[in-house]
Amino acid sequence: MSIEHPQFLNIKPEERKLVFSLVGILALATLVLELSDVIATGGFISRVGPNNVIWLWIVDMVISIFTVGLYAVIVDKTDRQRLVKGLTLGFALLFLVLRFVFSVHAPAWVSYPVLYILTDQFYAIFPLAFWAMVNDLFTSSESQRIYPIITMGVALGSIVGNGLAALSGWMLQRSGGEPASLLPFESLILLFGLVILQVAFSGRTVHARQAHDTFDFKQTVNVGLDYIRNVPIFSYLAVCMLLSGLAFTVIEYHFLFSVDQSVSRDPLQFQTFYGTFRIVLIVSTLLIQGLVSSRFLGKLGLKNSFIVQPITMAIGSVLALIVPGIMGAAGAQYVVRLVQQSWDEPARKSLENLVPDERRGRVAVMIDRYFYNVSTIVGSLVLGLLLYLGSTPLLNQAQALVVYLGLSIAASVAAVWFALRLRAWYEKSMLDWRLARPRRKSALDGIEF
């Protein structure tokens, strides 16, 4: 009697080359993103001030709306491999240009916001394009098994990127160097990722449909809104994303404020602490993705998967409220980001895989970016108002903290209810014609072994 051994990381042998190439590409892009994000965030919080970060978030989100809108217009009409290659090369060149901005000693309130916004545009667009490309490669059934593995690239890139950020922060404190000196290194990493991308798809034909009609930004938004208005699971998911974004904004601000207070507003100390914290977070994410998400996401089922994140957000918000200082803030940031990266993101990508090829990119833009952008803007405005009131006799700083964490708890509880509604409408939504399509080919179809 033969014994069937489990496949390594739940991947079939014939899938490994493609899957590991995708993991590598995502890891390199994430490395650059994380390193740049730590530099930008540490510099801005320490030199411009934590209370000003909410206004940076608002400006950044407004810019992202237009940037992602431009992406949405072209994503379903463009070869996704070519799109990912173009984005990789373009951002590599932009990071080189930004190094020049720092070299001419531009003011901190100019250079660090520009770096932050550029980094966030990279974060906003590249994952959308990458996952649109990946969704062209795998069937819906394959995605629930393989996507958590591919998402491990985020964890691997984050470990290295944040490790470099923490180590370079420690070294630069002793050498007297500046964090911006790492920007050319980021460009080289992106160019190496471009080489891997070229090799991975050399000689491979991807069977994916593209939209051939002409549409503008308004029509692009209407496609996404059509799914959100008429397919219940996307309607409830969209509301969950809005509420989640609001809670994330509050928890993120509380964490950054607490870190800044604990390191005495030293940008390099902030960079070292922030990078180290994110290494711990990402190592945990890697373990959860490899040992839990890839094996239990399919077993639990998509309809039951989206309640996990809002419950975790409520727990994190309560933790930040009852445990004062950096311990409570870091604990809240840890638990909500761990679940968001290791569980909720793979589940959301699997759900978006149900949308036909020629519309999926535009629907993903609405779900993954626009609702997040809007909720961040709303959350930042509310935080701005509370921080202003906290400087007046109407409300002190401690009371403002209680109010904004209470708002995060309320948003999380509301998100739990909408996640339960998503679960209740899941089977009926599967009958909607907008999700009906012919069987899509696997990435392995047409390949000779």
**pLDDT of the residue at 26:** 92
Evaluate whether residue 446 is within a structural domain: no
Model confidence at 200: pLDDT above 80: no
Whether 446 has a pLDDT exceeding 60, the answer reads: no
Domain-embedded: residue 242: yes
> Please, which pLDDT band fits residue 29 given cuts at 50, 70 and 90?
very high
More reliable by pLDDT, 419 or 13: 419
- Judge whether residue 442 has pLDDT over 60: no
| pLDDT, the chain, mean | 81
* Residue 447 falls inside a structural domain: no
- 448 within a domain of the structure (yes/no): no
Q: Is 210 exposed, middle or buried (0-12, 13-18, 19+ CB in 10 A)?
A: middle
Note the pLDDT tens digit of each residue in 282-299: 788 778 777 777 677 667
The pLDDT value recorded for residue 412 is 95
| pLDDT of 440 over the 90 cut | no
Burial zone of 184 (CB within 10 Å; 0-12 exposed, 13-18 middle, 19+ buried): middle
Instruction: Please state the domain count of the chain.
Output: 1
pLDDT of residue 251: 94
Confidence of residue 247 (pLDDT cuts 50, 70, 90): very high
Query: Is residue 129 predicted with pLDDT exceeding 80?
Result: yes
Higher-confidence residue: 449 or 301? 301
- The verdict on residue 147 lying in a domain is yes
Q: Could you tell me if residue 68 is inside a domain?
A: yes
| 405-424: average pLDDT | 93
Residue 326 within any structural domain of the chain: yes
Give the model confidence (pLDDT) of 213-243 as tens digits. 555 667 767 777 888 888 888 889 888 888 9
- The residues, ordered by sequence, that sit 6+ positions from 437 with a Cβ below 8 Å of its Cβ are 356
pLDDT at 280 over 70: yes
Q: Is residue 441 part of a domain?
A: no
| Residue 235: closest CA among 140, 306, 340, 337 | 306
Q: Look up the pTM and report it.
A: 0.74
Distance CA 180, CA 420 (A): 46
Residue corresponding to tokens 């990119």: 361
Q: Work out the average pLDDT over 339-364.
A: 78
Closest to 361 measured CA to CA, from 210, 234, 141: 210
Residue with the bigger pLDDT between 335 and 144: it is 335
- The residues, ordered by sequence, that sit 6+ positions from 3 with a Cβ below 8 Å of its Cβ are none
pLDDT of residue 414 exceeding 90: yes
Domain hosting residue 113, numbered range = 14-202+215-434
Q: Which of 42, 31, 22 is nearest to 95 (CA)?
A: 31
> What average pLDDT does the segment 94-118 reach?
85
Residue 14 binned pLDDT confidence (cut-offs 50, 70, 90): low
Which CATH number characterizes residue 248's domain? 1.20.1250.20
CA 198 to chain centre: 24
Read off the tokens for 95.
């990071």
For residue 13, the model assigns a pLDDT of 66
Q: Tens of pLDDT along 307-319?
A: 889 999 999 999 9
Average pLDDT estimate for 186-200: 89
Q: How large is the average pLDDT for residues 167-186?
A: 78
